[in-house]
């Protein structure tokens, strides 16, 4: 689907507002939107909300053969999916320019910076290594997908636990999570990307652009840094000419932002750990905020239910009534011989028995109380025809009669 076109008056208004240092949602030039990190029930599942932009990262691992030129290192695989859920202009399956750009940036930010120790992912050198796969799904696009995706990816990697492995000589045992606690990945540092949007040929800059600001910007500068002030990657797109001191200024701003965000991530990881230890509820459903549209809100809304209960009871009444169950009781015609049922004695009784058996099969799910009453009734009916011995109190009398 095509995106809603940007009208001229919106563009003019946004540019004028930026010149007056005003942003649409009232933020300052260097302010980030509210960043919220929540975790799912599995290890390695992480949701990140950056204002209205929402992404989800999921980490998984499996044992594979290593690359031939790197037999002792594990493999890291990154994938960002732009789903049509995020924006009507994203098409499922098609590799758009934005998707290629985001994937490339995430790979450079996380893989080339060597933030994960891949040597520790090796199980049997040259044969079996762990392949860790990070899938980032975009759920809602309100600008600055790159930052949200990088935070989600690194948080999910820190949250993830891989199965424990034991090697004894030639034997390799992979323990399931129930047998042995899974162990976390070894993360050296956390690279976070910070995006700067430039307007009016580099005169004005904004941190963390929202979707409308992204549509009117001239160019984007993305700096990935960790809290030790090491730059992991810098990328400038849009063809704007930046001066050296502009880039230096951006990197200083980025270092401040990155330390704040890293603090937030560590806090979120600690909270989640405490919640899991305490056995409390954790996961996506718990962390979902309840956004309700209250336009038609009433404190108590009546929904007509009397018809529903009437039709419901009508349906139940119309159903066929279950036939009563009957069970033939055991009989001792001659001492030392037991008989259940009538066998081939007489035609009339045989038919009765068949009916009884059929009824028995149909009514196997009925209440015990009904069964008991029905059995007692059938006993009384058959008393005249056959002398019965059962577990009732009249046993003694009947035995005497036989003898």
Partner 1 sequence: CDIDILKEKIGEVLLPGDEFVFESEDTIFLTDNVKPERPVCGPGLRQSGNRLVVSKSGVLRHKPPHTFWMDSQQWRYVPAKAETVIGIVTSKSGDIFKVDVGGSEQASLSYLAFEGATKRNRPNVQVGDLVFAQFTVANKDMEPELVCIDGSGRANGMGVFGGGGLLLKVSLGLVRRLLAPQSDIRSDLEQLFPCELVVGMNGRIWVRASTIQQTLIISNLLQSCDTLTAPQRREQFRKLQKGGL
**Binding to partner 1 in span 139-198, by CB under 8 A:** none
**From candidates 68, 171, 245, 304, binder to partner 1 by CB under 8 A:** 304
**From candidates 34, 297, 380, 401, binder to partner 1 by CB under 8 A:** 297
Please state the closest distance from residue 24 (CB atom) to partner 1, in A. 7
3-state secondary structure 154-178: HHHHHHCEECCEEEECCEEEECCCC
Binding mask 8-37 for partner 1 (x = CB under 8 A): xxxxxx--xx--x-x-xxx-----------
**From candidates 243, 303, 317, 344, binder to partner 1 by CB under 8 A:** 303
- Confirm or reject binding of residue 292 to partner 1 (CB under 8 A): yes
**From candidates 243, 278, 295, 397, binder to partner 1 by CB under 8 A:** 295
User: Which letter does DSSP use for residue 330 in this model?
Assistant: E
Please state the closest distance from residue 15 (CB atom) to partner 1, in A. 11
**Binding to partner 1 in span 336-365, by CB under 8 A:** none
Please state the closest distance from residue 90 (CB atom) to partner 1, in A. 17
Please state the closest distance from residue 33 (CB atom) to partner 1, in A. 14
Please state the closest distance from residue 108 (CB atom) to partner 1, in A. 35
Q: What is the CA radius of gyration of the chain?
A: 37
Nearer to partner 1 (CB atom), residue 178 or residue 302: 302
- Confirm or reject binding of residue 249 to partner 1 (CB under 8 A): no
Residue 279: Cβ-neighbour burial (10 angstroms; 0-12, 13-18, 19+): exposed
Nearest to 156 by CA among 122, 175, 133, 183: 133
Rounded Cα distance between 234 and 209, Å, is 17
Rounded Cα distance between 95 and 113, Å, is 25
Nearer to partner 1 (CB atom), residue 79 or residue 200: 200
Burial pattern 393-403, b for ≥16 Cβ within 10 A else e, equals eeeeebeeeee
Rounded Cα distance between 270 and 46, Å, is 14
- Confirm or reject binding of residue 245 to partner 1 (CB under 8 A): no
**From candidates 92, 176, 301, 318, binder to partner 1 by CB under 8 A:** 301
Please state the closest distance from residue 199 (CB atom) to partner 1, in A. 15
**From candidates 68, 170, 178, 291, binder to partner 1 by CB under 8 A:** 291
Rounded Cα distance between 317 and 118, Å, is 68
Q: Are 236 and 218 in contact (CB under 8 A)?
A: no
Please state the closest distance from residue 316 (CB atom) to partner 1, in A. 21
Instruction: Give 83's contacts (C-beta < 8 A, 6+ positions apart).
Output: 90, 92, 137, 138, 139
Which part of the chain contacts partner 1 (CB under 8 A), choosing from 40-48, 165-173, 203-211, 290-298?
A: 290-298
Which part of the chain contacts partner 1 (CB under 8 A), choosing from 3-11, 69-77, 199-207, 216-224?
A: 3-11
- Confirm or reject binding of residue 305 to partner 1 (CB under 8 A): no
- Confirm or reject binding of residue 396 to partner 1 (CB under 8 A): no
- Confirm or reject binding of residue 94 to partner 1 (CB under 8 A): no
Residue 340: strand pairing partners: 330
- Confirm or reject binding of residue 62 to partner 1 (CB under 8 A): no
Nearer to partner 1 (CB atom), residue 5 or residue 365: 5
Number of residues forming the site for partner 1 (CB under 8 A): 28
Instruction: Give 130's contacts (C-beta < 8 A, 6+ positions apart).
Output: 61, 62, 63, 64, 74, 75, 121, 122, 123, 162
Rounded Cα distance between 2 and 384, Å, is 88
Nearest to 133 by CA among 48, 71, 75, 198: 75
Write out the residues near partner 1 by the rule CB under 8 A: 4-13, 16-17, 20, 22, 24-26, 291-297, 301-304
């Amino acid at each position: 689907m095509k995106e809603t076109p940007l009208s001229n008056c919106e563009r003019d208004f946004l540019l004028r507002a930026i010149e007056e240092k005003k942003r649409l949602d009232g933020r300052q030039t260097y302010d980030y939107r509210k960043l919220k990190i929540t975790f799912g029930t599995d290890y390695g599942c992480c949701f990140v909300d950056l204002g209205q932009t929402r992404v989800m990262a999921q980490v998984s691992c499996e044992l594979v053969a290593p690359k031939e030129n790197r037999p002792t290192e594990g493999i890291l695989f990154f994938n960002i999916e732009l789903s049509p859920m995020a924006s009507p202009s994203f098409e499922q399956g098609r590799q758009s320019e934005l998707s290629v750009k985001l994937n490339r940036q995430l790979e450079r930010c996380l893989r080339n910076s060597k933030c994960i120790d891949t040597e520790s992912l090796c199980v049997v050198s040259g044969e079996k290594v762990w392949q860790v796969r990070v899938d980032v799904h975009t759920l809602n696009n309100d600008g600055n997908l790159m930052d949200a995706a990088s935070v989600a990816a690194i948080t999910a990697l820190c949250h993830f636990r891989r199965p424990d492995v034991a090697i004894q000589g030639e034997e390799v045992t992979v323990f399931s999570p129930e047998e042995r606690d899974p162990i976390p990945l070894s993360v050296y540092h956390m690279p976070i990307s910070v995006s700067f949007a430039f307007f009016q040929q580099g005169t004005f800059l904004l941190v963390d652009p929202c979707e409308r600001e992204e549509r009117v910007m001239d160019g984007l500068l993305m700096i990935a840094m960790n809290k030790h002030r090491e730059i992991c990657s810098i990328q400038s797109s849009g063809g704007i000419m930046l001066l050296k001191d502009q880039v230096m200024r951006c990197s200083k701003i980025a270092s401040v932002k990155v330390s704040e965000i890293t603090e937030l991530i560590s806090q979120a990881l600690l909270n989640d750990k405490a919640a899991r230890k305490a056995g409390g509820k954790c996961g996506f459903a718990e962390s979902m905020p309840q956004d309700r549209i209250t336009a038609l809100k009433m404190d108590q809304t009546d929904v007509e239910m009397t018809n529903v209960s009437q039709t419901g009871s009508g349906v139940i009444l119309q159903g066929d009534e279950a036939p009563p169950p009957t069970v033939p009781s055991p009989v001792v015609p001659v001492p030392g011989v037991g008989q259940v049922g009538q066998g081939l004695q007489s035609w009339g009784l045989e038919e009765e028995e068949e009916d009884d058996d059929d009824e028995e099969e149909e009514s196997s799910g009925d209440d015990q109380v009904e069964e008991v009453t029905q059995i007692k009734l059938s006993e009384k009916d058959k008393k005249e025809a056959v002398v019965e011995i059962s577990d009732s109190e009249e046993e003694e009398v009947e035995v005497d009669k036989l003898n």
